[in-house]
């Protein structure tokens, strides 16, 4: 794998649920040191690392820091934790999972229990509201150590599996990683580039619109994962959206945005000129930071590069190493060739 796997593993294994991205924010600020000209953080927690260019033209590049998780809402008399969701969960992937409860004093390991098949009713339906976390501690100790409002993230390591990388929070830490790696390749750009690590995307794209107002960029490029349904159980190839190993995905649309044609056409041109593997993405549903920039502070040209990902919103999200490398290459090439003279108006 032709990239810094240890950094990717650190970014994905570190916790940071929506609104509480502190630990990831610290890593981003660390990686910006010596790479950008200035770093700032706003009231929501977005981090912006700026590389100053010669032209009076600016580009915002965004990848979100948050991962889906939970917040403790109640401690039962028996010492189990009941939680509220932070982001969209499929209940089928939650049973029998280990979690980390981020209490005020320390982190605690817990499990989301599952009723054994020996006693389970055939009609037993499990929903997110049924999640109970078992800390393996007496109820009085749980009451003492855990409070309403404490955060919960999934416990999982990031591993190489063949040509793939798998783990939790690849949505969107793998794109955050790609943005950081591309930033390290940019020297003396013609335009000013704002590398933005955004917050609360999983709660409805909240951080990016705030930055759209504060930065008012001339062009915005978002990075996020996208669906790769090239797996057993999905019969129609038309429903794959993307395939692992076919390269970076250039977004044409999702349910929240239609990217600017002149922007995605230039992305394709750069990819072809640099011989970077790429594919086109038409995503029926889902939203990204792209929409957060498009019309937040007037009309803006926007584009998006996506990394194909299997098993989204689980703890075994999987990406192909070549797609990660292609995304870094394409983003760096796109920024390196942006002069501020391209006309993206329609």
Q: Which residues are catalytic?
A: 201
- Closest Cα to residue 335, out of 289, 294, 274? 274
Backbone angles phi, psi at 180, to 5 degrees: -65, -40
Tokens of 273: 């000129």
- Tally the C-alpha atoms within 13 A of residue 233's C-alpha that lie toward its C-beta: 5
In contact, 65 and 208? CB cutoff 8 Å: no
Given phi > 0 = left and psi -120 to 50 = alpha, else beta, which region is 340? Answer: left
Q: For the stretch 230-258, what's the b/e string if a residue is b when 16 or more beta carbons lie within 10 angstroms of its beta carbon?
A: beeeeeeeeebbbbbbbbbbbbbebebbe
Count of C-beta atoms within a 10 Å radius of residue 223: 29
In contact, 67 and 202? CB cutoff 8 Å: yes
- Closest Cα to residue 68, out of 82, 52, 85? 85
């Amino acid at each position: 794998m032709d990239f810094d796997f240890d950094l990717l593993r650190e970014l994905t294994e570190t916790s940071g649920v929506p609104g509480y991205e502190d630990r990831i924010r610290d890593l981003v600020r660390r990686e910006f040191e010596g790479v950008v000209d200035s770093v700032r953080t706003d009231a929501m927690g977005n981090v912006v690392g700026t590389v100053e260019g010669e032209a009076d033209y600016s580009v915002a590049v965004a990848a979100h820091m948050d991962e889906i998780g939970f917040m403790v809402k109640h401690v039962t008399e028996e010492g189990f934790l009941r939680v509220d969701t932070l982001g969209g969960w499929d209940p089928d992937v939650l049973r029998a999972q280990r979690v980390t409860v981020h209490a005020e004093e320390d982190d605690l390991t817990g499990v989301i229990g599952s009723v054994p098949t020996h006693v389970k009713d055939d009609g037993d339906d499990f929903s997110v509201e049924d999640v109970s976390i078992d800390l393996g501690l007496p109820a009085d100790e749980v009451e003492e150590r855990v409070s309403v409002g404490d955060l919960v993230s999934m416990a999982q390591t990031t591993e190489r599996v063949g040509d793939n990388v798998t783990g939790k929070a690849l949505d969107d830490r793998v794109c955050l990683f790609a943005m950081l790696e591309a930033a390290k390749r940019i020297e003396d750009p013609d335009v000013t580039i704002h590398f933005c690590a955004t917050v609360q995307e999983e709660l409805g794209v909240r951080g990016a619109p705030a930055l759209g107002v504060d930065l008012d960029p001339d062009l915005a490029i978002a990075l996020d994962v996208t669906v790769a349904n090239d797996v057993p159980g999905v019969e129609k190839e038309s429903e794959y959206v993307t395939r692992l190993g076919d390269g970076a995905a250039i977004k044409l649309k999702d349910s929240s945005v239609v990217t600017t044609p002149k922007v995605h056409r230039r992305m394709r041109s750069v990819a072809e000129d640099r011989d970077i593997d790429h594919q086109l993405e038409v995503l029926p549903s889902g939203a990204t930071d792209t929409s957060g920039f498009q019309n937040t502070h007037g009309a803006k040209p926007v584009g998006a590069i996506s990394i194909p990902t299997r098993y989204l919103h689980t703890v075994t999200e999987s990406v192909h190493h070549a797609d990660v490398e292609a995304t870094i290459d394409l983003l760096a090439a796109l920024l390196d060739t942006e002069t501020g003279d391209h006309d993206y108006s329609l």
